[in-house]
Chain A
Amino acid sequence: MLEKKRAEFRSEPQTAAPIVAAATPPRVEKSEFAAWTLVSRTILNLDETITRE
């Protein structure tokens, strides 16, 4: 997922901008940050994350 999204955002950097518009840390590439955002979204949506046991 990370690699796929990284490649996508690098080839079309303008598509990363709205995703990271709220805040991008200094010295982090927007495309890199957007790729990690999507990975985080995935992890946070896992049943294992949501369901507390």
Chain B
Amino acid sequence: MNDPLQDITRRHFFRNCAVGVGSIALASLFAESALASPSQGAKPLPAGTNFPPRAKNVIYLFMAGGPSQLELFDYKPKLIELNGKPIPDSMIAGKRFAFMDSSFKDRYTLLGTRRKFTQHGKHGAWVSELFPHQAKIVDDIAIVKTVATDVFNHAPAKLFMNTGSSQFGRPSMGAWVTYGIGSECKDLPGFVVLQSGPRGPRGGAVNWGSGFLPTIHQGVPFRSSGEPIVNLSSPAGITAHHQRDTIDAVNALNLKRLVATGDQEIQTRISQYEMAYRMQTSAPELTDLAGESKETMELYGADRTKPSFANNCLLARRLIERGVRFVQLYHTNWDSHGGPGETLEKDFETRCKEVDQASAALVIDLKQRGLLEDTLVIWGGEFGRTPMGENRTSTGRNHHIECGTMWFAGGGTQPGIILGETDELGFAPTEDRCHVHDIHATILHLLGLEHTKLTYRFQGRDFRLTDVHGKLISKLLA
């Protein structure tokens, strides 16, 4: 990981001391293939890891907008009992909420869920009627009810969940992971992003950005129908032979430029042109679901004729089968404030229907194929929702940083557990609070990475995904 060019950002400087630095650049360009060569003797640790990994791949189902845990996994009879009553002042003293200060002229009142909850699985996990399919996989997942974050608005909270910082400029988790341990797929990017729902996630591309890491680690968004990447196929008459000659010429000239300037971003461009050439074949094959059996399509509720979260879940499995390290799915919009298109009634139900079956199917399918052992599946949004109602055109719930629910499956996590407990109103954790930094530390741990050791020197100091925070959540480990 010690790329001698890590500190270089301005090519002008290096143009002036071209020869020496350029040769180092070349050495590092070819170092990657040396890493990938088969090793001899005793079984070594996979490249980049600090200890044996439990998970090889990650599929992160990002529920953009912040789904309400109180309608799904965090069952609070007391909250139902106190529906409409004001929240005790002691609970909210000194706390801040998005919108509420301005839109709430009266005191905040508690909102009990209108959804029915029943217990499922060996450990009696409470799951609401809105997730009938996920209710059936509770023995295979770890439900964490006490996920706490620092920021209460969408874009910064998404950034925080992805990068460990609420400001732009830091690498996302997928970028850190491929930087740390690379990818086993040479024909597709190591970090792929798929999207579904009415609009893109707040914050946009920085959610899967590479920050100060080399841009080769950036997440690559694929479209889930048609051409996976716009303009990936060659224009009319440009045969594979012409394309090969063009890429060879471009790369040869770029390599000269790399040697002359030492700019590692040229190295990224050379690699990406090679990748794009291979993807002209590999990407259409990837997104063609024709080879999937009828049973599989029905399990996910996937339909080849229209893009959906279900299709994306199936694509995610196909991606990790091909060795892609980190796949992130975004599904919008879970922002149930109670306004038009964001009600906690019909709109919320629609969202639940869109994700429930396929989220469960992914876990079932991975398990059947023996892939769940090596694949960490993550389900969750950027924050939870308040136990207090928020009155817009209907009553919804506001953003809540104290606690929200996520679940994890496979990849060395403990199946069939509920981790963390919240108070009787579901306002805050009472035990096993799991902060975003702790979740990051734990995800890296499962991949064989010690979060304090995965660093990158930038602007004079070492940066980490967990910054100076993060505690391993050992109860989550199998």
Measured CB to CB, the residues of A under 8 A from B are 1, 4-5, 15-21, 34, 38, 41-42, 45-48, 50-51, 53
Q: Is the interface of B mostly helix, strand, loop or mixed?
A: helix
Q: Could you say which residues of chain A place their CB within 8 Å of the CB of B166?
A: none
A22 vs chain B, min Cβ distance (A): 9
Q: In whole angstroms, what is the CA distance A34 to B246 when docked?
A: 13
Q: In whole angstroms, what is the CA distance A45 to B243 when docked?
A: 12
Whether B236 and A21, one on each chain, are in contact in the complex, defined by CB atoms closer than 8 angstroms, is: yes
Size bracket, chain B contacts:
10 to 19
Partner of B236 from the list A19, A46, A47 (CB cut-off 8 Å) is: A19
Partner of B254 from the list A4, A34, A47 (CB cut-off 8 Å) is: A47
Whether A17 and B250, one on each chain, are in contact in the complex, defined by CB atoms closer than 8 angstroms, is: no
Q: In whole angstroms, what is the CA distance A34 to B236 when docked?
A: 12
Whether A47 and B266, one on each chain, are in contact in the complex, defined by CB atoms closer than 8 angstroms, is: yes
Q: Which of B266-281 contact A (CB under 8 A)?
A: 266, 269, 273
Q: Does B238 contact A (CB under 8 A)?
A: yes
Q: Which of B258-292 contact A (CB under 8 A)?
A: 265-266, 269, 273
A-B pairs, top 5 by smallest CB distance, nearest first, are: A18-B237, A19-B237, A18-B236, A42-B249, A45-B250
Measured CB to CB, the residues of B under 8 A from A are 11-12, 235-239, 242, 245-246, 249-250, 253-254, 257, 265-266, 269, 273
Q: Could you say which residues of chain A place their CB within 8 Å of the CB of B273?
A: 45
Q: In whole angstroms, what is the CA distance A9 to B163 when docked?
A: 51
Q: Could you say which residues of chain B place their CB within 8 Å of the CB of A5?
A: 242, 245
* Closest A residue, CB atoms, query B254: A47
Which of A1, A15, A47, A48 has most chain B Cβ within 10 Å? A47
Q: Could you say which residues of chain A place their CB within 8 Å of the CB of B242?
A: 5, 38
Q: Could you say which residues of chain B place their CB within 8 Å of the CB of A38?
A: 238, 242, 245-246
